[in-house]
Amino acid sequence: MSSVIELIEAGARQLSDAGVAFGHGTDNAFDEAAWLVLWRLQLPLHELDAVADRPVSPADAVRVAELLAARIASRKPAAYLTKEAWLQGVPFYIDERAIVPRSFIAELLADGGIDPWLGEHTRRVLDLCTGNGSLAVLAALTYPEIAVDAADLSAEALEVAAINVTRHQLDARITLLASDGLAGVRGPYDLILCNPPYVNTRSMAALPAEYRAEPALALAGGADGMDFVRQLLHDAPRCMTQAAVLVLEIGNERAHFEAAFPAVEAVWLETSAGEDQVLLLTRDALATLAG
């Protein structure tokens, strides 16, 4: 009879040998295997040491093997198989209707990285391109006094977001809005959070299957990745109060951002991935772009 750790180690070898891609909650084969094995066995995901030597029945070992095989054969992110993703220790429902949540903005909410720009005036928050609603939920949990609008172009993504808003009992504080960019929102806002589609065309073509399993609408940002961002930066000032800030994630596209907006004074915020993934823009910094 195999133990939990033996199944995880075997699963990690399988995932590694199969060449699956990571990046949707884990970044290596062992952590991915641990997630799948522990989830399948209904064991706590963050207490491996406590259960590592626990024996696993042959029937449960078969169920684990089937899940690992599905991960390899489908090339879907593990979160789509488990229907759950975690961000800053908070669980969220997820399925193929929305991108798997992984925004570095979540770190900034949790560790207070944007707090110096906030204050008593911060009452209305917009999470634009909300996807499954995770950043809206985290913002509402972090700042109990704020009201949050969560907007997305995708009706399907908003269906997933609604599940998470209700799951975290935030229906009274989070309003879901169907909106193409800022066209359908109800500003002005004191804080805008946005993890937009920003992957450039060349990078989109090279994405592993796991990323292609996600809605392309949430990823593809045009030739230089800045199509959505250009419209956002043009429109944002009219949706912002005077002291408002925009916190924008652009992934590995800093060079393209700076080439597209050479005159914009951005504050680059430090995350676990460095200082080139997320930036902050004040309303004054954006005003020069508004026509």
Tens digits of residue pLDDT in 52-83: 999 999 999 999 999 999 999 999 999 999 99
* Tokens representing residue 67 in the block: 């899940």
> Which pLDDT band holds residue 288 (cuts at 50, 70, 90)?
confident
Q: Residue 287: what pLDDT?
A: 84
Mean pLDDT over the full length of the chain: 96
Q: What is the pLDDT of residues 152-191, one digit of tens each?
A: 999 999 999 999 999 999 999 999 999 999 999 998 999 9
4-22 burial, b at 16+ Cβ within 10 Å, e below that, comes to: bbbbbbbbbebbeeeebeb
Q: What is the pLDDT of residues 95-143, one digit of tens each?
A: 999 999 999 999 999 999 999 999 999 999 999 999 999 999 999 999 9
pTM of the model: 0.95
Q: Tell me what the mean pLDDT of segment 271-290 comes to.
A: 91
Q: Tell me what the mean pLDDT of segment 37-48 comes to.
A: 94
Q: Residue 5: what pLDDT?
A: 97
Q: Residue 215: what pLDDT?
A: 97
Q: Tell me what the mean pLDDT of segment 192-220 comes to.
A: 97
Residue 267 pLDDT more than 50?
yes
Residue 212 pLDDT more than 70?
yes
Q: Residue 291: what pLDDT?
A: 47
* Tokens representing residue 28 in the block: 């290596």
Number of other residues whose CB lies within 10 A of the CB of residue 54: 11
CA atoms within 13 Å, Cβ hemisphere of 111:
12
